[in-house]
Amino acid sequence: MNITVRYFASMRDRMGRTDEALAIGGDTVTVAEVWANVAGGQPMPDSTLIAINMEYTDADAVLKDGDELAFFPPVTGG
């Protein structure tokens, strides 16, 4: 399965890259499994926002071939 992973704002700084293309073996993979693969053992921050194909989801969501996965820091405003 091939997916694109994108990192925004401070997540980009944390990961040291803006995006990457991943080829992952197997028929199913969750967001949490992708994070474990790309983060080098760092736990995902509790406040991380996750989107698959521009729709918010959670770390248990299952990805499909061709999906775009995005990680965002929490959004604040005022």
Q: In which band, very low, low, confident or very high, does the pLDDT at 78 lie, cut at 50, 70 and 90? A: low
Q: What is the pLDDT of residues 9-31, one digit of tens each?
A: 988 988 999 999 999 988 899 99
Q: What is the pLDDT of residues 46-74, one digit of tens each?
A: 889 999 999 999 999 999 999 999 999 88
Query: Domain 2-72 carries which CATH code?
Result: 3.10.20.30
How much of the chain is in helix, strand and coil states, percent to nearest 5? 20, 35, 45
Distance, CA of 27 to CA of 12 (rounded, Å): 28
Domain chopping of the chain, boundaries? 2-72
pTM above 0.85, yes or no: yes
Residue 40 has pLDDT above 80, yes or no: yes
Distance, CA of 47 to CA of 72 (rounded, Å): 9
